[in-house]
Chain A
Amino acid sequence: MNHLDKLEAQSVYILREAYREFKNLCMLWSIGKDSTVLLWLARKAFFGHVPIPLVHIDTHYKIPEMIAYRDRVALEWNLNMIYGENRAALDARQTFPDGNTDRIVCCRHLKSEALKRTLSGEWPRYRMDHELKRYVPDDKREPFTGVIVGVRADEEGSRSKERYFSPRDSANSWDVGDQPPEFWNQFKTDFAPGTHVRIHPLLDWTELNIWEYIERENIPIVSLYFNQGGGTRYRSLGCAPCTNPIESPSRTVREIIEELESGLLANVAERSGRAQDKEDGGLETLRRDGYM
């Protein structure tokens, strides 16, 4: 087995473990390369099927190609696709693009808060109806007690401290200083009422591994990651107003791998195009509060 086989095996094991142990399980799909690899790994684990609902938090400021890609794949792969949103903040224009909040507060409204309330079932969920080929209100409102997330340990400091199965209390907060032990492929799969568990099958993957795997498996990826001729491409995807492309000539997966290996990007942080990270406290502050 090479290093990709080993990473795949570990992720598949974790996904199957989660599916076995959690009744109300979902998987977050941000449309980015990592969670798309995660989705592919679910098809590996369950022999072509994805028996877990996918949840996307729609800020309504995503780059339009992302949403088009999401819905195309959802229909093609027969996914149980659900989205949630912060309707109140959008209607009240409490967002950064509206000029009424800073970036961090905007993230908190449109992502953290929307995620929290969508997972808990307090706010409406919308489900892709495969007959009608559009979203309809979902009548299932039970809280999700297991949430599969595609974070990687190499992304930045706080993510390097995550466990594969990471408990959160009912307020979604993460007690970094007091995490359960995890060893020998035995994870925290028992949890007290009122808590839920975040599951991280991609923890040991690096950005390069993700692209190597996309190449090997020929996984369809949203075109924003590639230079379409203008000499720029996105390295990390988010909301249009806060995400900038990087200068890069790479037009294909192969060229991205070569670019990563060449060291041209070695000294640029992966999320350097993500403006909210640069504000005070940045990602760690957001993560403690339930951000992915």
Chain B
Amino acid sequence: MSTETIDRVLSRSRMNIVIVGHVDHGKSTVIGRLLADTGSLPEGRLEAVRESCLRNSRPFEYAFLLDALKDEQAQGITIDTARCFFKTASRDYIIIDAPGHIEFLKNMISGAARAEAALLVIDAHEGIRENSKRHGHMVAMLGVRQVTVLVNKMDLVGYSEEAFEKLKAEYTAYLRQIDVEPVSFIPVSAREGDNIAERSASMPWHDGPTVLGQLDLFTTGRELHEKPFRLPVQDIYKFTGSGDDRRIVAGTIEAGTIRKSEEVLFLPSGKRSVIESIESFNTERKEAVSAGEPAGFTLSTQIYIRPGEIMVRPGDLLPEVGTRFRANIFWVGRVPMSKEKEYKLKLGTARATVRLAEIVNTLDAAELNLSQGKQQLDCRDVGECIFETTRPIAFDLASRNETTGRFVIVDNYEIAGGGIVLENLSGGETLLERHIRERERHWETGSVPTVERERVNRHRSKFIVITGPPGTGKRALSRELENMLFRNGCSTYYLGMATMEHGIDSDLRVNEKNVEERLRRLGELARIMTDAGMIFITAIDDADDYDIATLKLLNDPHEILVVTVGRNDLQNAAPDLHLEEISDIVEAIERIANLLTLREIIVDYQI
């Protein structure tokens, strides 16, 4: 590539602009004008539309240039988000035309969330309407920081400065309430072309920029490079089938920079490793990668992590980890959001089951009234709510790191809401703890007291979990342990995971989403078996802190004993016993049996 080309490619930037506002206030006309006046239309398009209007005896409108689809021309409203491309001397633009009609709010959101700046169109003649306010609010929540207000149809109010100033004052007051400070207000007539690309002769009193001028004044890029490092793990790849042994942690860097050989921490699992290499295809070897880049890493140790964790630098300000948080949310689902139902939360690359725990207040975006005591979120509601996930997730507060501080909620296969995290409320009672409190309150005991059982059995009950990577001999060990205990007169049982999968769990498909439910069922079963006085043994692959904590909680009030084999993945609580490898199964069993004796679970034993 020539130096000249490189300069050109590097210097040219691109910006997404969204245009929003109430229906019929003239968004499509503004864009049509911008395209026509900058010569961005394919040859003949303008003439073709004019001709078609003439043929159908309709007055020509610039909006027709955009309304490419038949549906739209029939109804005269923009039903989806259309993208138009055009360029000025300084950069390329994608103008996203977001529909103003209330039925199409979710389309407006899709458009606005992609934008770095917004043009909000208000009809000077009709004044501020419901969606002028609603869209102002949504644009702010979606994270668009630069907003310019176009006061359109100035020709209909005689290009009156007074009318413009009055509307400006009124709308500024509204925006102030929701903490939005517009970059500028521009009086325009899109139909007549006033202040779009050319300064208007009819409004000599306007001393600010034209719309085109304002676009070039918007600034691009956010200072994501200097923020704490965040990599939401999208996937872990191993293409062994194609003769590639690299195990690559892949994802797009949301903030900060990381270099080769740096130590990294994964949250919520708490696992640590060191970056061995930065992987890429058809580039030079990379020593460092920064915000915005799709990246891949190999690690110096083989740790088991899951997609959805956030990879961070241990020395940085760390993300929050928790199961309960306060957030601002907007709901666009067909069905209201209810407290009775479980939803799917997607935050960064994490997915979790979530419940709406509490509605703090809801905001009527049109009237800006806060109301309390609502029991559900209706379509188009904006509210402050408390959410609870079943499994801990890592996240940031949106005020600190917005890209890892926002989430969507899926209801019935559809994205039905979006929100930004305000506060981590974890530490209070979790959903699981509440479940167990309720369960124990209703536990129906038989007539045999635990002490009697222990006296007859001559041992106490225990839930023994043996965990580690696959292929370490956990199952053989578990079965032999059961055999030995049984021969020593213990009431004991080994439960294989295949038994669970094809029995109790046969209604659950084996996938990421059902991990929690499978864990819950195992824990509940353990609670029953240990209550029956047994030494209940199972072997599971790659349990992490959360899995163990969950099983422990579910088995409560009885006790759990954790044995790790091959590799200890537990970060928070050390296992009761760790075996580097099982070279001699008798010796391994002896160590477990010794521990059981020491803890006074069994009295003595013989191998």
Q: Which residues of A contact B (CB under 8 A)?
A: 1-6, 8-9, 12-13, 16-17, 19-20, 43-49, 51, 78, 153-154, 156-158, 160-161, 163, 176-177, 179-184, 186, 188, 190-192, 203-204, 206, 212, 215-217, 266-269, 284
Contacts and interface: CB of A to CB of B under 8 A. Distances in A.
B44 to A, nearest CB: 8
Given A160-B84, A206-B85, A183 B250 contact: no
Nearest to A216: B1
Contacts of B44: 267
Contacts of A160: 68, 82-84
A17 B307 CA distance: 11
Contacts of A45: 250, 294
Contact of A157 (B68, B244, B412): B68
Contact of A181 (B94, B109, B344): B109
Given A13-B294, A44-B281, A268 B70 contact: no
Q: What does DSSP make chain B's interface, helix, strand, loop or mixed? A: mixed
A6 B307 contact: no
B342 interface: no
Contacts of A78: 242
Contacts of B346: 186
Contacts, number: 155
B69 interface: yes
7 contacts: A2-B9, A6-B292, A13-B294, A16-B294, A177-B80, A181-B332, A267-B43
Contacts of B106: 180-181
B110 interface: yes
A16 B12 contact: no
B9 A190 contact: no
Interface stretch (B155-163, B233-241, B458-466): B233-241
Interface in B70-113: 70-71, 79-85, 92, 94, 106-107, 109-110, 112-113
Contacts of B83: 153-154, 160, 203-204
Contacts of B332: 181
Contacts of A8: 294
B205 interface: no
B239 A46 contact: yes
Contacts of B42: 266-269
B68 to A, nearest CB: 2
A181 B235 contact: no
B145 interface: no
B248 interface: yes
Contacts of B57: none
Contacts of A192: 412-413
A179 B80 contact: yes
Interface residues of B, number: 63
Contacts of A48: 244, 281
Q: Top 4 closest A-B pairs, CB basis? A: A157-B68, A267-B43, A183-B113, A181-B106
A215 B6 CA distance: 12
Interface of B: 1, 9-10, 12-14, 42-44, 68-71, 79-85, 92, 94, 106-107, 109-110, 112-114, 142, 234-235, 237, 239, 242, 244, 246, 248, 250-252, 279-282, 292-294, 296, 307, 332, 344, 346, 403, 406-408, 410, 412-415, 418
A177 B79 contact: yes
Contacts of B408: 183-184, 186
A176 B80 contact: yes
Nearest to B44: A267
A206 B84 CA distance: 11
A212 B9 contact: yes
A1 B110 contact: no
Given A176-B69, A186-B346, A47 B415 contact: no
Given A158-B69, A176-B71, A20 B235 contact: yes
A184 B141 CA distance: 12
B13 A20 contact: no
A191 B294 contact: no
B70 A284 contact: yes
A204 B114 CA distance: 11
Given A154-B85, A216-B1, A186 B415 contact: yes
A3 B81 contact: no
Contacts of A13: 234, 252, 294
